[in-house]
Amino acid sequence: NTQVLFNSVPVGEPTETDFKVVTVAINPQSHLQENFLLIKNLWISLDPYMRGRMRNPEKGSYSSAFELGKPLTAGAVGEVIQSNSKLYNVGDVVLGHFDWANYTVAHEKAIQQKIDQSKYKFPLEAWLGLLGMPSLTAYYGLVHIGKPKAGETLYVSAAAGAVGQVVGQIGKKLGLRVVGSAGTDEKVKYLTETLKFDAAFNYKNGDFKENLKKFTPSGIDIYFENVGGEQLEAVLDLMNENGRIPVCGMISQYNGAAYGVKNLFNVIGKRLLLQGFIVGDHYNIFPEFLNWMMENTSDGSFFYETTISEGIENAPKAFIGLLKGENTGKQLIKNI
Ligand code: NDP
Protein backbone atom coordinates (compact mmCIF):
# COMPACT_ATOMS: atom_id res chain seq x y z
CA ASN A 1 0.00 0.00 0.00
CA THR A 2 1.66 3.22 -1.13
CA GLN A 3 0.94 6.08 1.24
CA VAL A 4 1.97 9.73 1.33
CA LEU A 5 2.92 10.85 4.84
CA PHE A 6 3.09 14.38 6.22
CA ASN A 7 6.84 14.64 6.78
CA SER A 8 7.51 18.26 7.80
CA VAL A 9 5.77 21.61 8.16
CA PRO A 10 6.61 23.66 5.05
CA VAL A 11 8.30 26.99 5.36
CA GLY A 12 6.73 29.05 2.57
CA GLU A 13 5.95 26.97 -0.50
CA PRO A 14 5.77 23.22 0.20
CA THR A 15 8.54 21.09 -1.31
CA GLU A 16 8.71 17.35 -1.98
CA THR A 17 10.65 16.80 1.26
CA ASP A 18 7.61 17.93 3.24
CA PHE A 19 6.04 14.64 2.10
CA LYS A 20 7.28 11.07 2.39
CA VAL A 21 6.11 8.32 0.07
CA VAL A 22 6.22 4.91 1.75
CA THR A 23 5.03 1.43 0.87
CA VAL A 24 3.59 -0.60 3.71
CA ALA A 25 2.16 -4.11 3.77
CA ILE A 26 -1.60 -4.46 3.88
CA ASN A 27 -3.32 -7.70 4.64
CA PRO A 28 -6.83 -7.66 3.20
CA GLN A 29 -7.70 -10.74 5.27
CA SER A 30 -6.85 -9.05 8.56
CA HIS A 31 -9.71 -8.52 10.98
CA LEU A 32 -11.37 -5.12 10.71
CA GLN A 33 -12.66 -3.51 13.87
CA GLU A 34 -16.42 -3.04 14.15
CA ASN A 35 -17.75 -0.26 11.87
CA PHE A 36 -14.48 -0.12 9.91
CA LEU A 37 -13.98 -0.74 6.20
CA LEU A 38 -11.09 -1.33 3.84
CA ILE A 39 -11.42 0.99 0.88
CA LYS A 40 -9.49 1.05 -2.36
CA ASN A 41 -9.15 4.65 -3.46
CA LEU A 42 -10.11 5.33 -7.07
CA TRP A 43 -9.86 9.14 -7.16
CA ILE A 44 -8.35 11.62 -4.73
CA SER A 45 -9.03 15.35 -4.70
CA LEU A 46 -6.21 17.82 -4.04
CA ASP A 47 -7.35 21.20 -2.73
CA PRO A 48 -5.66 24.44 -1.66
CA TYR A 49 -7.03 24.24 1.93
CA MET A 50 -4.66 21.32 2.51
CA ARG A 51 -1.79 23.79 2.66
CA GLY A 52 -3.43 25.21 5.79
CA ARG A 53 -3.58 21.72 7.31
CA MET A 54 0.19 21.29 6.81
CA ARG A 55 0.89 23.31 9.92
CA ASN A 56 2.03 23.06 13.46
CA PRO A 57 -1.01 21.69 15.38
CA GLU A 58 -0.68 24.40 18.01
CA LYS A 59 -1.82 26.92 15.43
CA GLY A 60 -5.61 26.86 15.38
CA SER A 61 -7.72 26.95 12.24
CA TYR A 62 -11.13 25.83 11.01
CA SER A 63 -9.74 22.45 9.88
CA SER A 64 -7.50 20.23 11.97
CA ALA A 65 -3.75 20.04 11.26
CA PHE A 66 -2.41 16.95 9.50
CA GLU A 67 -0.49 14.66 11.85
CA LEU A 68 3.25 14.45 11.24
CA GLY A 69 4.27 10.94 10.26
CA LYS A 70 0.71 9.96 9.28
CA PRO A 71 -0.86 9.88 5.80
CA LEU A 72 -2.41 13.12 4.60
CA THR A 73 -6.13 12.82 3.96
CA ALA A 74 -8.40 14.08 1.22
CA GLY A 75 -11.86 13.97 -0.25
CA ALA A 76 -11.86 10.77 -2.29
CA VAL A 77 -13.97 8.23 -4.13
CA GLY A 78 -13.23 4.60 -3.41
CA GLU A 79 -14.57 1.09 -3.56
CA VAL A 80 -15.32 -0.95 -0.46
CA ILE A 81 -13.06 -4.02 -0.53
CA GLN A 82 -13.85 -5.37 2.93
CA SER A 83 -16.56 -4.28 5.35
CA ASN A 84 -17.29 -4.69 9.03
CA SER A 85 -19.98 -2.02 8.82
CA LYS A 86 -23.73 -2.53 8.64
CA LEU A 87 -24.07 0.53 6.43
CA TYR A 88 -21.80 -0.39 3.50
CA ASN A 89 -21.19 -3.57 1.55
CA VAL A 90 -18.25 -4.90 -0.41
CA GLY A 91 -18.43 -3.42 -3.91
CA ASP A 92 -20.14 -0.18 -2.85
CA VAL A 93 -18.57 2.92 -4.35
CA VAL A 94 -18.37 5.65 -1.74
CA LEU A 95 -17.44 9.31 -1.35
CA GLY A 96 -15.55 10.14 1.81
CA HIS A 97 -12.44 11.38 3.50
CA PHE A 98 -9.62 8.92 2.98
CA ASP A 99 -5.82 8.72 3.05
CA TRP A 100 -3.47 9.81 0.28
CA ALA A 101 -2.86 6.12 -0.38
CA ASN A 102 -3.88 3.14 -2.50
CA TYR A 103 -5.97 1.77 0.37
CA THR A 104 -7.51 3.25 3.51
CA VAL A 105 -8.86 1.53 6.58
CA ALA A 106 -11.67 3.94 7.44
CA HIS A 107 -14.38 4.23 10.06
CA GLU A 108 -17.84 4.35 8.47
CA LYS A 109 -18.11 7.94 9.71
CA ALA A 110 -15.39 8.90 7.21
CA ILE A 111 -17.90 8.09 4.46
CA GLN A 112 -20.13 10.91 3.31
CA GLN A 113 -22.35 8.95 0.95
CA LYS A 114 -22.69 5.89 -1.21
CA ILE A 115 -22.64 6.83 -4.89
CA ASP A 116 -25.67 5.55 -6.73
CA GLN A 117 -24.22 4.90 -10.17
CA SER A 118 -27.57 3.83 -11.62
CA LYS A 119 -29.22 7.15 -10.68
CA TYR A 120 -26.48 9.59 -11.69
CA LYS A 121 -24.82 8.93 -15.03
CA PHE A 122 -21.69 10.91 -14.29
CA PRO A 123 -18.14 9.60 -14.15
CA LEU A 124 -17.11 8.80 -10.56
CA GLU A 125 -14.62 11.65 -10.35
CA ALA A 126 -17.48 14.13 -10.88
CA TRP A 127 -18.33 13.63 -7.18
CA LEU A 128 -15.07 15.39 -6.32
CA GLY A 129 -15.56 18.20 -8.82
CA LEU A 130 -18.59 19.04 -10.94
CA LEU A 131 -21.06 17.56 -8.43
CA GLY A 132 -18.78 17.81 -5.43
CA MET A 133 -17.27 20.14 -2.87
CA PRO A 134 -15.74 22.75 -5.24
CA SER A 135 -18.99 23.26 -7.17
CA LEU A 136 -21.05 23.41 -3.99
CA THR A 137 -18.61 26.09 -2.84
CA ALA A 138 -19.14 28.02 -6.07
CA TYR A 139 -22.92 27.67 -5.89
CA TYR A 140 -23.25 28.57 -2.21
CA GLY A 141 -20.92 31.55 -2.41
CA LEU A 142 -22.34 33.04 -5.58
CA VAL A 143 -26.04 32.30 -5.14
CA HIS A 144 -26.52 32.48 -1.39
CA ILE A 145 -24.02 35.19 -0.48
CA GLY A 146 -23.59 37.01 -3.81
CA LYS A 147 -27.39 37.13 -4.36
CA PRO A 148 -26.93 37.94 -8.05
CA LYS A 149 -29.36 39.94 -10.13
CA ALA A 150 -29.35 39.63 -13.94
CA GLY A 151 -27.34 42.38 -15.58
CA GLU A 152 -24.89 42.81 -12.71
CA THR A 153 -21.13 42.45 -13.14
CA LEU A 154 -19.34 39.55 -11.48
CA TYR A 155 -15.56 39.37 -11.16
CA VAL A 156 -14.03 36.01 -10.16
CA SER A 157 -10.35 35.48 -9.37
CA ALA A 158 -8.55 32.12 -9.88
CA ALA A 159 -11.29 31.77 -12.47
CA ALA A 160 -9.90 28.76 -14.34
CA GLY A 161 -9.67 26.62 -11.19
CA ALA A 162 -12.03 24.06 -9.73
CA VAL A 163 -14.27 26.61 -8.01
CA GLY A 164 -13.76 29.58 -10.34
CA GLN A 165 -14.80 27.85 -13.55
CA VAL A 166 -18.13 26.94 -11.96
CA VAL A 167 -18.69 30.38 -10.42
CA GLY A 168 -18.33 31.98 -13.84
CA GLN A 169 -20.63 29.54 -15.59
CA ILE A 170 -23.33 29.82 -12.94
CA GLY A 171 -22.98 33.58 -13.30
CA LYS A 172 -23.53 33.37 -17.06
CA LYS A 173 -26.62 31.16 -16.59
CA LEU A 174 -28.02 33.75 -14.16
CA GLY A 175 -27.56 36.57 -16.66
CA LEU A 176 -24.52 38.27 -15.17
CA ARG A 177 -21.72 39.97 -17.04
CA VAL A 178 -18.82 37.71 -16.06
CA VAL A 179 -15.18 38.77 -15.91
CA GLY A 180 -12.40 36.46 -14.72
CA SER A 181 -8.66 36.40 -14.31
CA ALA A 182 -6.13 33.58 -14.35
CA GLY A 183 -2.37 33.14 -14.45
CA THR A 184 -1.70 31.93 -18.01
CA ASP A 185 -2.87 32.93 -21.49
CA GLU A 186 -4.13 29.37 -22.12
CA LYS A 187 -6.37 29.62 -19.08
CA VAL A 188 -7.64 33.01 -20.26
CA LYS A 189 -8.49 31.44 -23.61
CA TYR A 190 -10.37 28.64 -21.82
CA LEU A 191 -12.41 31.27 -19.95
CA THR A 192 -13.39 33.34 -22.97
CA GLU A 193 -13.58 30.72 -25.73
CA THR A 194 -14.90 27.63 -23.94
CA LEU A 195 -16.72 29.04 -20.93
CA LYS A 196 -17.91 32.18 -22.77
CA PHE A 197 -16.93 34.62 -20.05
CA ASP A 198 -17.62 38.18 -21.24
CA ALA A 199 -13.98 39.07 -20.57
CA ALA A 200 -10.90 37.55 -19.00
CA PHE A 201 -7.29 38.54 -18.54
CA ASN A 202 -3.94 37.25 -17.30
CA TYR A 203 -3.39 38.84 -13.88
CA LYS A 204 0.36 38.40 -14.26
CA ASN A 205 0.54 40.73 -17.27
CA GLY A 206 0.48 44.50 -16.95
CA ASP A 207 -1.16 46.63 -14.29
CA PHE A 208 -3.76 44.46 -12.56
CA LYS A 209 -6.05 47.26 -11.46
CA GLU A 210 -5.96 49.02 -14.85
CA ASN A 211 -6.82 45.75 -16.62
CA LEU A 212 -9.66 44.98 -14.25
CA LYS A 213 -11.01 48.50 -14.62
CA LYS A 214 -10.91 48.23 -18.42
CA PHE A 215 -12.94 45.00 -18.36
CA THR A 216 -15.47 46.21 -15.77
CA PRO A 217 -16.55 49.58 -17.19
CA SER A 218 -19.72 49.62 -15.06
CA GLY A 219 -17.86 48.64 -11.88
CA ILE A 220 -18.16 45.35 -9.98
CA ASP A 221 -21.30 44.24 -8.17
CA ILE A 222 -20.05 40.85 -6.97
CA TYR A 223 -16.46 39.83 -6.37
CA PHE A 224 -16.05 36.10 -5.82
CA GLU A 225 -12.85 36.19 -3.78
CA ASN A 226 -10.43 33.30 -4.23
CA VAL A 227 -7.08 35.08 -4.06
CA GLY A 228 -6.90 37.92 -1.49
CA GLY A 229 -4.03 40.37 -1.04
CA GLU A 230 -3.36 42.87 -3.81
CA GLN A 231 -6.29 41.63 -5.89
CA LEU A 232 -8.72 42.33 -3.06
CA GLU A 233 -7.23 45.76 -2.60
CA ALA A 234 -7.66 46.64 -6.28
CA VAL A 235 -11.19 45.24 -6.38
CA LEU A 236 -12.34 47.25 -3.34
CA ASP A 237 -11.67 50.47 -5.25
CA LEU A 238 -13.74 49.22 -8.21
CA MET A 239 -16.75 47.83 -6.32
CA ASN A 240 -20.16 49.43 -6.81
CA GLU A 241 -22.33 50.53 -3.92
CA ASN A 242 -24.11 47.67 -2.16
CA GLY A 243 -21.72 45.17 -3.75
CA ARG A 244 -21.21 41.71 -2.31
CA ILE A 245 -17.94 39.86 -1.77
CA PRO A 246 -18.31 36.15 -0.95
CA VAL A 247 -14.91 35.49 0.63
CA CYS A 248 -14.16 31.94 -0.41
CA GLY A 249 -10.37 31.79 -0.32
CA MET A 250 -7.17 33.83 -0.25
CA ILE A 251 -4.68 31.56 -1.97
CA SER A 252 -2.08 34.32 -2.38
CA GLN A 253 -1.63 34.24 1.41
CA TYR A 254 -1.48 30.48 2.03
CA ASN A 255 2.30 30.13 1.91
CA GLY A 256 2.74 32.72 4.63
CA ALA A 257 2.69 36.08 2.83
CA ALA A 258 0.42 38.45 4.73
CA TYR A 259 -0.53 41.38 2.52
CA GLY A 260 -1.99 44.33 4.36
CA VAL A 261 -5.02 45.57 2.41
CA LYS A 262 -4.96 49.34 2.80
CA ASN A 263 -8.38 50.45 1.58
CA LEU A 264 -10.88 48.46 3.63
CA PHE A 265 -12.66 51.72 4.38
CA ASN A 266 -14.42 51.20 1.02
CA VAL A 267 -16.59 48.66 2.83
CA ILE A 268 -18.28 51.46 4.75
CA GLY A 269 -18.82 54.14 2.15
CA LYS A 270 -19.89 51.65 -0.51
CA ARG A 271 -22.05 49.62 1.93
CA LEU A 272 -20.28 46.43 0.89
CA LEU A 273 -20.99 42.98 2.25
CA LEU A 274 -17.89 40.83 2.84
CA GLN A 275 -18.93 37.38 3.95
CA GLY A 276 -16.51 34.55 4.60
CA PHE A 277 -17.84 31.00 4.50
CA ILE A 278 -16.74 27.38 4.84
CA VAL A 279 -18.50 25.01 2.47
CA GLY A 280 -18.59 22.25 5.08
CA ASP A 281 -21.19 24.26 7.01
CA HIS A 282 -23.59 24.28 4.07
CA TYR A 283 -24.20 20.69 3.04
CA ASN A 284 -27.85 21.25 4.00
CA ILE A 285 -28.28 22.91 0.59
CA PHE A 286 -26.73 19.94 -1.25
CA PRO A 287 -30.11 18.76 -2.66
CA GLU A 288 -30.89 22.27 -3.95
CA PHE A 289 -27.39 22.49 -5.48
CA LEU A 290 -27.64 19.06 -7.08
CA ASN A 291 -31.03 19.92 -8.61
CA TRP A 292 -29.58 23.11 -10.05
CA MET A 293 -26.60 21.26 -11.50
CA MET A 294 -28.82 18.53 -12.99
CA GLU A 295 -31.07 21.11 -14.63
CA ASN A 296 -28.24 23.24 -15.95
CA THR A 297 -25.58 20.75 -17.02
CA SER A 298 -27.63 18.14 -18.89
CA ASP A 299 -27.79 20.08 -22.18
CA GLY A 300 -24.02 19.97 -22.63
CA SER A 301 -23.59 23.72 -22.22
CA PHE A 302 -21.65 23.44 -18.95
CA PHE A 303 -17.95 22.57 -19.01
CA TYR A 304 -15.74 21.14 -16.32
CA GLU A 305 -12.01 20.95 -16.85
CA THR A 306 -9.89 18.59 -14.75
CA THR A 307 -6.15 18.05 -14.42
CA ILE A 308 -5.43 14.41 -13.68
CA SER A 309 -2.18 13.09 -12.26
CA GLU A 310 -1.79 9.33 -12.19
CA GLY A 311 -0.39 7.42 -9.22
CA ILE A 312 -0.47 8.17 -5.50
CA GLU A 313 3.30 8.72 -5.47
CA ASN A 314 2.78 11.75 -7.73
CA ALA A 315 0.37 13.47 -5.32
CA PRO A 316 3.05 15.67 -3.65
CA LYS A 317 4.24 17.01 -7.01
CA ALA A 318 0.66 17.64 -8.13
CA PHE A 319 -0.18 19.42 -4.87
CA ILE A 320 2.89 21.66 -5.10
CA GLY A 321 1.89 22.39 -8.70
CA LEU A 322 -1.70 23.23 -7.69
CA LEU A 323 -0.50 26.01 -5.41
CA LYS A 324 1.59 27.39 -8.29
CA GLY A 325 -1.18 27.30 -10.89
CA GLU A 326 -0.05 24.25 -12.85
CA ASN A 327 -3.60 22.87 -12.83
CA THR A 328 -6.51 23.95 -14.97
CA GLY A 329 -9.82 23.13 -13.33
CA LYS A 330 -10.04 20.45 -10.69
CA GLN A 331 -6.77 18.76 -9.67
CA LEU A 332 -7.30 15.04 -9.15
CA ILE A 333 -5.14 12.00 -8.50
CA LYS A 334 -6.15 8.81 -10.24
CA ASN A 335 -5.09 5.74 -8.30
CA ILE A 336 -3.64 3.29 -10.83
P1 NDP B 1 -7.88 26.02 -7.96
O2 NDP B 1 -8.27 24.83 -8.76
O3 NDP B 1 -8.35 27.37 -8.40
O4 NDP B 1 -6.30 26.02 -7.82
C5 NDP B 1 -5.64 27.08 -7.25
C6 NDP B 1 -5.33 28.16 -8.28
O7 NDP B 1 -5.05 29.36 -7.63
C8 NDP B 1 -4.08 27.86 -9.08
O9 NDP B 1 -4.36 27.03 -10.19
C10 NDP B 1 -3.62 29.25 -9.50
O11 NDP B 1 -4.15 29.55 -10.78
C12 NDP B 1 -4.26 30.18 -8.46
N13 NDP B 1 -3.24 30.87 -7.67
C14 NDP B 1 -2.23 30.34 -6.95
N15 NDP B 1 -1.51 31.30 -6.35
C16 NDP B 1 -2.06 32.48 -6.73
C17 NDP B 1 -1.76 33.84 -6.46
N18 NDP B 1 -0.74 34.20 -5.67
N19 NDP B 1 -2.54 34.80 -7.02
C20 NDP B 1 -3.56 34.45 -7.83
N21 NDP B 1 -3.90 33.18 -8.12
C22 NDP B 1 -3.16 32.21 -7.57
O23 NDP B 1 -8.36 25.82 -6.48
P24 NDP B 1 -9.87 25.70 -5.99
O25 NDP B 1 -10.77 26.12 -7.07
O26 NDP B 1 -10.04 24.39 -5.37
O27 NDP B 1 -9.92 26.81 -4.84
C28 NDP B 1 -10.01 28.20 -5.17
C29 NDP B 1 -10.09 29.00 -3.89
O30 NDP B 1 -11.25 28.62 -3.16
C31 NDP B 1 -8.90 28.76 -2.95
O32 NDP B 1 -8.58 29.97 -2.34
C33 NDP B 1 -9.48 27.78 -1.94
O34 NDP B 1 -8.82 27.82 -0.71
C35 NDP B 1 -10.90 28.26 -1.84
N36 NDP B 1 -11.87 27.28 -1.37
C37 NDP B 1 -12.61 27.62 -0.28
C38 NDP B 1 -13.59 26.79 0.20
C39 NDP B 1 -14.42 27.24 1.36
O40 NDP B 1 -15.16 26.44 1.91
N41 NDP B 1 -14.34 28.50 1.75
C42 NDP B 1 -13.83 25.48 -0.43
C43 NDP B 1 -13.03 25.23 -1.61
C44 NDP B 1 -12.07 26.11 -2.04
P45 NDP B 1 -3.53 30.71 -11.72
O46 NDP B 1 -2.80 30.01 -12.82
O47 NDP B 1 -4.73 31.43 -12.19
O48 NDP B 1 -2.61 31.54 -10.87
In the chain, CATH 3.40.50.720 covers 133-280
Direct distance between the N- and C-terminal alpha carbons of the chain, in angstroms, rounded to an integer:
12
User: Which of these, 161, 168, 188, lies nearest to 321 by C-alpha position?
Assistant: 161
pLDDT of residue 28: 60
pLDDT of residue 260: 95
pLDDT of residue 59: 87
* Helices and strands: H and E segment counts in the chain: 9, 15
158 ligand 1 Cβ < 6 A: yes
User: Which of these, 127, 35, 125, 29, lies nearest to 87 by C-alpha position?
Assistant: 35
Per-residue confidence of the chain (336 residues) as pLDDT tens digits?
Answer: 999 999 999 999 999 999 999 999 986 666 789 999 999 999 999 999 999 999 998 888 889 999 999 999 999 999 999 999 999 999 999 999 999 999 999 999 999 999 998 888 899 999 999 999 999 999 999 999 999 999 999 999 999 999 999 999 999 999 999 999 999 999 999 999 999 999 999 999 999 999 999 999 999 999 999 999 999 999 999 999 999 999 999 999 999 989 999 999 999 999 999 999 999 999 999 999 999 999 999 888 899 999 999 999 999 999 999 999 999 999 999 999
278 ligand 1 Cβ < 6 A: yes
Ligand 1 centroid–CA 249 distance in Å is 7
163 ligand 1 Cβ < 6 A: yes
pLDDT of residue 185: 98
pLDDT of residue 162: 98
Q: Looking at the domain that runs over 2-129+306-334, which CATH code has it been given?
A: 3.90.180.10
What architecture does CATH give domain 133-280?
3-Layer(aba) Sandwich (3.40)
327 ligand 1 Cβ < 6 A: yes
229 ligand 1 Cβ < 6 A: no
Burial class (CB in 10 A: 0-12, 13-18, 19+), 89: exposed
Which residue type sits at 317?
K
332 ligand 1 Cβ < 6 A: no
In the chain, CATH 3.90.180.10 covers 2-129+306-334
Out of 163, 187, 212, give the residue to mutate to test ligand 1, the one with the largest number of ligand atoms within 8 Å of its CB. 163
Ligand 1 centroid–CA 323 distance in Å is 7
Q: Which residues contact 227 (CB under 8 A, 6 or more apart)?
A: 157, 158, 249, 250, 251, 252
225 ligand 1 Cβ < 6 A: no
- Model ipTM value: 0.99
Q: Which residues contact 265 (CB under 8 A, 6 or more apart)?
A: none
Q: Is the pTM of this model over 0.90?
A: yes
